[in-house]
Structure 1
Amino acid sequence: MRAIDVVDGSLTLTDLPDPVPGPGEVLVRVAAAGVNRADLLQRAGHYPPPPGASPVIGLECSGTVVALGDDVEGWQVGDEVAALLAGGGYAELVAVPAGQLLPVPAGIDLVDAAALPEAVCTVWSNLVHVAHLRPGQSLLVHGGSGGVGSMAIQLAAAAGVRVLTTAGGPERCARCEELGAEAAIDHRAEDVVERVRALTEGRGVDVILDVLGGGALGRNVAMLATGGRLVIIGTQQGRRGELDVGALLARRASVHATTLRARSLTEKAAIVADVCERAWPLIADGTVGPVVHARLPLDQAAQAHELMDSGAVFGKVLLLP
């Protein structure tokens, strides 16, 4: 099969042996793979795959089932699926644990379905399972124009949550509001802390979904309401920051930090099952949808990473074998 290999930090199209599905796995012919910021980190040597995972980059894909390993139930050859991966997406074929497959929602193009698994599972596991976000509460999404951010806005708004978000520039802010954000704050032109305080009449927000990391830690705590939850899922502004424990105590607030890729097969299967039951219907009925910025052929993986690095992407970039 053709796949993308990393050689000295460069992405190269090469031929690799076809994967063989093991017990409990399904072989998928890839229609498209989603490009994520974690892929850029892996290319740079900072985010290696977990033990046993494919070294090929790619944390999500869509495609068609072409073979079943032993002990697989509920799937058959020919099924159109979206898949959450620990690796292997930038290829023509990928072996996937059956518990990490989702049916392509009705009305969603097979290619565009590749924009869904990583974003939806990340958002759902963090906002629902970790932060326990509930209807009527408030949420601040950092980076609402990103793949995860654009999905977080949609899912939270659909659940009856008041959504605030940040984005860079008036056009991107306007698009975030079209997706369901009550207010989008231009972090290039506005003081985010002051604006959040004004929008919440000084109360702060119940939950912050943060991709910035250490550099934003102090500002994030300052924007939490009493009992607020800060959930960190990225480190775009660094791995280290200073935490004012007194401010955290005064708010009776909490800080959580999570990753999805390194979780066990059992944990991932539980997340995927819950997403399938409770989030997938919102996609099937059109309430929530994939946000795709560009679709590029697999041999332009390097260009896709450059596009992601440029900051110009709104939503997802997809690679098509």
Structure 2
Amino acid sequence: MKAILIDDNEKLYIGKTDKPIFKENELLVKVKATALNRADLLQKRGLYPPPEGASTILGLEMSGVVEEVGENVEGWNKGDRVCALLPGGGYAEYVSIPAEMAIPIPDGLSFEEAAAIPEVFLTAYLNMFWLGKLEKDETVLIHAGASGVGTAAIQLARVVGAKIIVTAGTEEKRELCLSLGADVAIDYKDGPFAPKVKETTHGKGVNLILDFIGASYWEQNISSLATYGKLILIGTMGGSNVENVNLGKILFKKLQVIGTALRSQPIEKKIALTKDFRDFALSKFENSEVKPVIDSVWDWKDADEAHAHMEQNKNAGKIVLRVNEVD
């Protein structure tokens, strides 16, 4: 089969590799589209190796058509449209997935839209509801609000009736966040965000923070949390080392700091998460209450340019690769 591979100069190209072998409890899927994640940028540079046993090909999600059904699989048929979270392998013509990880693509959604769902919505769902326990009328602060995970988190928080504050660096991105349901959008380039969070919450602080930035936001995050608040650390784009941490603030406010990563979760947990999310959200995609937010769609032969687009932080929403036939 054809797949996007990495040359010695860390450039992407379409080459030949082995077609995946699917097991009796799996589906073989012909990929129609995949989507970019920052993990792809790191893996390309050798900084984020895939989990043991996973494909070394880039790509943490895909949408496509079921090509073959394992002999022990029930409920799926050849020709079904599915999308799924992957530990790797999405930048390819075919993937094999555990049948229990498959999500049916709602009618009315294209393959490109469906490819933009699994990674970001499952990440947002895991962190806000499984770990963060977000409830109606609580307040969540979502950093990088216009990112793929950010746009998913805004919509899921809105559905449960939470109050939503986001940070984003351009007016266009802040307007997007507000259009998706955010109540307040803060320009993080216009000075510290913590005083604005305090003002917005009338001094109470937020119940939950989803943070992709890490060290450079540590002090402001701790300051922005309400008593019993939770900080969910999803990434460290702003560094991973924090100096002179005052643990007293964490004790005094009875805070929780939770580190998380979806890719390295055991398959059993990913299956449970997928099923829970599917029950919660599938009908909401069908009635357009929730939707994937797409920044741009690229032919997979232009994957390097798509990566550059993400590296320059130009995207608002998901960057999708369309997997076209290649001679």
TM-score bin, normalised by smaller chain: over 0.9
TM-score (normalizing by structure 2): 0.96
Specify the alignment match of 1:186 in structure 2.
187
For the pair 1:111 / 2:118, whether they are aligned, the reply is: no
Matched-pair contact (CA < 8 Å) for 1:29–1:92: yes
Deviation at 1:91, TM superposition (A): 0.7
Specify the alignment match of 1:6 in structure 2.
6
Specify the alignment match of 2:316 in structure 1.
314
Aligned equivalents of 1:61 and 1:241: distance in 2?
A: 36
Specify the alignment match of 2:287 in structure 1.
285
Aligned equivalents of 1:74 and 1:264: distance in 2?
A: 23
Consecutive unaligned residues in structure 1, runs of 5 or more: none
Aligned equivalents of 1:299 and 1:319: distance in 2?
A: 9
Deviation at 1:191, TM superposition (A): 2.0
Specify the alignment match of 2:203 in structure 1.
202
Equivalent residue for 2:248, pick from 246, 249, 256: 246
Deviation at 1:73, TM superposition (A): 1.8
Specify the alignment match of 1:304 in structure 2.
306
Specify the alignment match of 1:30 in structure 2.
31
Amino acid at match of 2:70: G
Amino acid at match of 2:300: L
Consecutive unaligned residues in structure 2, runs of 5 or more: none
Matched-pair contact (CA < 8 Å) for 1:216–1:241: no
> Equivalent residue of 1:26, what SS?
strand
Tell me whether 66-75 or 122-131 shows the greater mean CA deviation.
66-75
Aligned equivalents of 1:282 and 1:38: distance in 2?
A: 28
Specify the alignment match of 2:93 in structure 1.
92
Deviation at 1:283, TM superposition (A): 1.4
- Output the aligned Cα RMSD: 1.0
Pairing of 1:216-255 with structure 2 (within 5 A): 216-242=217-243, 243-255=245-257
Deviation at 1:214, TM superposition (A): 2.2
Specify the alignment match of 1:176 in structure 2.
177
**Percent identity for Structure 1 against Structure 2:** 39
CA offset digits 1:27-47 (Å, max 9, x no partner): 111110010111101111111
Pairing of 1:90-169 with structure 2 (within 5 A): 90-169=91-170
> Equivalent residue of 1:247, what SS?
helix
> Equivalent residue of 1:111, what SS?
helix
Specify the alignment match of 2:274 in structure 1.
272
Amino acid at match of 2:104: P
Specify the alignment match of 1:294 in structure 2.
296
> Equivalent residue of 1:163, what SS?
strand
Amino acid at match of 1:132: K
Amino acid at match of 2:150: G
Matched-pair contact (CA < 8 Å) for 1:24–1:69: yes
Deviation at 1:279, TM superposition (A): 1.8
Aligned equivalents of 1:39 and 1:5: distance in 2?
A: 12
Aligned equivalents of 2:263 and 2:74: distance in 1?
A: 24
CA offset digits 1:270-319 (Å, max 9, x no partner): 00000000122221111110111111111111111000011110000001
Aligned equivalents of 1:69 and 1:262: distance in 2?
A: 25
Matched-pair contact (CA < 8 Å) for 1:24–1:97: yes
Amino acid at match of 2:206: V
Tell me whether 62-71 or 45-54 shows the greater mean CA deviation.
62-71
Aligned equivalents of 1:280 and 1:124: distance in 2?
A: 13
Amino acid at match of 2:4: I
Deviation at 1:107, TM superposition (A): 2.2
> Equivalent residue of 2:111, what SS?
coil
Matched-pair contact (CA < 8 Å) for 1:63–1:111: no
Specify the alignment match of 1:59 in structure 2.
60
> Equivalent residue of 2:152, what SS?
helix
TM-score (normalizing by structure 1): 0.98
For these two proteins, the number of residue pairs brought into alignment is: 321
CA offset digits 1:247-286 (Å, max 9, x no partner): 1111111000100111111000000000000122221111
Tell me whether 105-114 or 78-87 shows the greater mean CA deviation.
105-114
> Equivalent residue of 2:221, what SS?
helix
CA offset digits 1:13-68 (Å, max 9, x no partner): 11112112123211111110010111101111111100110000000010100012
Matched-pair contact (CA < 8 Å) for 1:218–1:241: no
> Equivalent residue of 2:95, what SS?
strand
Aligned equivalents of 1:70 and 1:247: distance in 2?
A: 56
